Amino acid sequence: MDHETTAAVNPDATESSGRVVIDPWLLVRHGTDPAGFAQDESLFALANGTLGVRGNLEEADSASQATLLSGVWERTPIEYHERFPGFASHTDTRIPVADATHIRLRLGDAPAQLEQGEWLQFERSLDLRRGCYRRRLRWRSPQGATLEIEAERIVSFKDAGLLAIHYRVRSLDYSGPITLESSISTAREAAAQGFDPRIGSRVEGGLNTFDAHAGEALAWVGQRTTHSGIRLVCAQRHQHAGELTLSDAGHTPHGVMQAYTGTLAPGQMVTLDKYVAYAFTAPLAADSAEALMARAEASLTSAITLGYPTLLEQQAQVLSGFWAQADLAIVGSPATEQALRLNLFHVFQSSGRDGHSTIAAKGLTGEGYEGHYFWDAEVFMLPVLATLAPALARAMLTYRHRTLDNARRHARELDHTRGALYAWRTISGDECSAYFPSGSAQYHINAAVAWAVRLYVDASGDDAFLLECGAEMIIETARIWLEIGCFNPRRGGAFCIHEVTGPDEYSALVDNNHYTNRMAQRHLRDAAAVAEWMAMTHPAGYAALAARIDLQADEPARWLTAAQAMHLPVDAALGIFPQDDGFLDKPRLPPELATTPGKQPLLLRMHPLSIYRHQVCKQADTLLALMLAGEQVEVAAKRRNFDYYEGVTVHDSTLSASTFAVIAAEVGHADKAHRYFLDTLRVDLDDLHGNAAHGLHMAAMAGSWLALTWGYGSLRVHDGMPSLAPKLPAAWQSYRFGMRWRDAHLRIEVDGDGVLYTLTDGNALTFLHDGLPQRLHAGQPLRLPCVGFVDPLPPLKAVIFDLDGVIADTAVVHHAAWKKLADDIDVPFDDATGERMKGVDRRGSLEILLQAAPRSYTEVEKQELAARKNDYYREQIEHFGPQDLLPGAREAIESVRRAGLKVALASASRNAGLLLQRLGIADLFDVVVDANRISRSKPDPEIFLAAASALGVAPDECIGVEDAAAGIASIRAAGMAAVGIGQARALAEADLVLPSIAAFDIGTLTTIRTTNWR
């Protein structure tokens, strides 16, 4: 059976065809294939920051259904064969609690098992206005009875532990008794960890039932964890009309149940409202079972008194306030608006509200990542809430302050004498990562927390939080940088930070990770500024804080000195920021290894050391630094970094696309900005990473809002003030979003005529538009021009051609030479092997050939084989002449020269010069760069950079022309525009693909480069 959704992967293209009508406020699915139900359980999950309930069917069993409480987790020791000092000693795992969503059906004495009947019509929906999950099923039993089952549920925003279900069954042609068996089940345990460590866990202990009761009015179970010392109670009560009566109540093998029986006739309906309340303790708290029951019963009494319709209206009221702040509209793409609303809804409902939790990587929608909190809560999720729901942002930071003592202990575990180091992944505040190279070594989490505090205070004006909590957090975490960094005399006294891991976990334990250094620089400056502010405005409070944490008088000055000297080098050849000291020295990962089969990331296919030895990124790293703290970096430099790192990033992390979308919009890559925006927008709707069934990706969902507001809206904070420079993507007619800044709410409306700024709340607001200060007053909207996707590319000065497959078809000669060598040494050689060699230099091609060799070869033997192949090749090209030029090749090169542009050749062949002479075109080239002049082969950009340098032009003043994917990657990494010659599918990364060199027209290409490519 099909599993349908309301929007396709490219929502804009789908809607323009007129085939789909989408309500932006309603996510609807009609699929009946159980294979897709686990993903739907995630998409239709409901939560309130404390309680999360996945979107199952009440009547059916589901191995992936779960109810989760943010404060209920188990502690499990981490076992090491070789344990060293400071290794994490245990992990915290959020575990499923008693699930009270079950309502079983009986028709007469027979259980109504949905999977055995016929599904005539099925629909489930998530109402984003009212915050409820609904589903409707028209079902025919094997005996021929036809029923219509409707269910609606909410997880209350007003009562942190309350779930309410409105359940109705209507008969279409059935006459007879019906029983609704409402139960609480304790059968569900934490998902076991398999091959993929992102999904399950290894839990020692878990939840045990300490008591259970089922009576006429109330049923409940009590559970407690084995090691973490948490206890909880789950209790249920019901409301029903007179057509139902209680027929049974008692224990089940895994919980309790209450059964209600009535009679149905065609056209008649029975209705049951179910209310479920959860109450739980803190770890090792002394709350009694009676106290927990009293709290649960109080919730149920209040819910019964209010009734389901009132509870539903409360949901709508809470969400109405949130949607008013978001103020979202996308004209021309309702599917985009729908996806943005869905993503915002899930971030909002999974946000902790009590100061005891923050937002887990999967929110409260599933068990992925064990329910752990990561640094992405501060970097991706908090920025959304800071301008839409500041109280939730404050609660997130309050959690970090509550766990500051844990961070201090963690710093001591890692041998730091002072300061605090937040855990990379945690629930309780303790480090839960057993693999320290990509766990504890991610010191950048300190900078993320400090950055988030600064952003929240700037946006909210909440100086009280800064005084009471934020200053201590910023200062204590800043002290760590001087513990792990040093002023390096070998680098001119630059402040260097050694042996850390940045956000890109495919490079671990490196020196001077650019993201870490840049964010540490910002952190140190903020810490010094906060210390100065507090000392001047609240001297008594500052003195008390200094005494409490032993803050020395000279520390702020030392922080500023380190920030000023921070090592942030620029690579001279590429004009980019190296991701770390050794990153650019490594070989690129071969394309065949970087390709991800079945959405499986590299970390599940390769040993970490194999990944670390290559120039490959899991996610945006340097680009993320430029997004968060790159105000002083010129756009041209950001573009060079974007172009380079796009070529080495595999986007195995769902965090990656949103950063690429933001930077692509900033540097003028309109098409790429939209493509990356869609990737982060629909990562869960379209299950782009293949694991939405285990919970939704909160950071990617938040990232889609950042891609809209920080990307297209260009929102940043400059000196505590909001800065905007909106752009309009071509796919939309207009868009609108809102943001709260201190005591004002700003609406930003962007269309083809510019941008309209309006205050919908507050008296006045000062902000920057395109770098210029603006003062906006209530009742006086301000219309300003949009900056648009302006291309600041310099004029074109040179074209750099590849040789093989572009100017002459020497591939057949290479193929014949390699085939002859393969026959000499009895190694199989086929077209697939030849294709892998395309664009690869001689030595690299030899290594590909020898992968299938029956024995290994010494270095001397390899040199002899390479020379022999070259001899075979030279024998063939001795017969080449002008007649062997590809049609149109000479004309293409001559047209470049007539246009007054320089011409270079960049060929992996060591015989390029000889071949140009044989072809009669050597005098048409200003520069020839072949494998004799470089040390790294394509897809490394060295050969194209060397050609540009020899011509005396900048890389972004060039066009590169190639016929191989490796060559296109080399051009893009060099920061040049890329023209592909051949099949578009094979050359997807090229800016433009031509079927042959005969289609090359320099005039047209110059125009396209300026208007479309950037």
Mean pLDDT, residues 484-498? 97
pLDDT at 303: 98
**Mean pLDDT over residues 807-816, rounded?**
78
What is the rounded average pLDDT of the residues 98-126?
A: 95
The single residue listed with the structure tokens 């009494």 is 301
Q: What is the pLDDT, as a whole number, of residue 834?
A: 78
pLDDT at 1014 over 50: no
| DSSP secondary structure of 500-525 | B--S-TTS-SBSS-HHHHHHHHHHHH
Mean pLDDT of 768-780: 96
What percentage of residues in the chain have a pLDDT greater than 70? 96
208-223 pLDDT, tens digit per residue, is: 999 999 999 999 999 9
Q: Strands 716-718 and 721-724, how do they pair?
A: antiparallel
- pLDDT-derived band at 931 (thresholds 50, 70, 90) equals confident
The Cα 194–Cα 176 span in angstroms is: 47
Structural contact between residues 885 and 919, judged by C-beta atoms closer than 8 angstroms: yes
The pLDDT value recorded for residue 15 is: 44
> H/E/C letters for each residue in 429-475?
CCCCCCCHHHCCCCCHHHHHHHHHHHHHHHHHCCHHHHHHHHHHHHH
Q: Residue 20: its pLDDT value, please?
A: 54
The answer, yes or no, to whether residue 791 has pLDDT greater than 80, is no
Predicted confidence at residue 793, as pLDDT, reads 66
285-314: pLDDT as tens digits:
988 889 999 999 999 999 999 999 999 999
The stretch 548-554 carries a mean pLDDT of 96
**What residues are paired with 237 via a beta bridge?**
275
Q: Note the pLDDT tens digit of each residue in 666-688.
A: 999 988 999 999 999 999 999 99
Considering only 37-51, 70-84, 767-781, 970-984, which range has the smallest mean pLDDT? Answer: 970-984
**pLDDT recorded at residue 3:** 38
Calculate what percentage of the chain has a pLDDT beyond 90: 76
- Cα distance between residue 51 and residue 40, in whole Å: 18
Q: Where are the alpha helices (DSSP H) in 598-714?
A: 608-612, 622-629, 635-646, 656-667, 670-681, 698-706
* Residue 5 predicted with pLDDT over 50: no
Lowest mean pLDDT among 27-36, 370-379, 440-449, 771-780: 27-36
Alpha-carbon distance of 44 to 5, in angstroms, equals: 13
Does 16 score more than 50 pLDDT?
Answer: no
876's enclosing H/E stretch is: helix 859-877
- Residue 8: the pLDDT is 36
What torsion do the CA atoms of 330, 731, 677, 333 make, to the nearest 10 degrees?
Answer: 40
* pLDDT of 31 strictly over 60: yes
The pLDDT value given to residue 7: 38
Q: Which two tokens stand for residue 134?
A: 């609904």
Query: What would the pLDDT profile of 606-665 be if each residue is shown by its tens digit?
Result: 999 999 999 999 999 999 999 999 999 999 899 999 999 998 999 999 999 999 999 999
Residue 915: the pLDDT is 86
Q: Which residues are catalytic?
A: 505
pLDDT bucket at 337, cuts 50 / 70 / 90: very high
Query: DSSP characters for 135-151?
Result: EEEEEE-TTS-EEEEEE
Q: DSSP per residue over 119-182, as a string?
A: EEEEEEEEETTTTEEEEEEEEE-TTS-EEEEEEEEEE-SSSTTEEEEEEEEEESS--EEEEEEE
At 437-456, the pLDDT tens digits run 999 999 999 999 999 999 99
Q: What pLDDT sits at residue 491?
A: 96
Question: What is the spatial distance between Cα 634 and Cα 668, in angstroms, rounded to a whole number?
Answer: 13
Which pLDDT belongs to residue 12? Answer: 55
Q: Is the pLDDT of residue 780 over 60?
A: yes
What is the value of pTM for the model shown? 0.84
pLDDT at 813: 74
Q: Is the pLDDT of residue 278 over 60?
A: yes
> What is the residue-averaged pLDDT of the chain?
92
Q: What pLDDT, on the 0 to 100 scale, is given for residue 716?
A: 97
Q: Which residues contact 828 (CB under 8 A, 6 or more apart)?
A: 822, 852
- Quick one: average pLDDT of 871-880? 78
pLDDT for residue 18 is more than 60? no
**How many angstroms separate the CA atoms of 630 and 617, rounded?**
20
Least-confidence region, from 346-360, 393-407, 954-968: 954-968
Of 186-195, 224-233, 343-352, 582-591, the poorest mean pLDDT is in: 186-195
Q: Where are the beta strands (DSSP E) in 57-117?
A: 67-69, 73-77, 90-94, 103-107, 110-111
Two structure tokens written together for 132? 């409820």
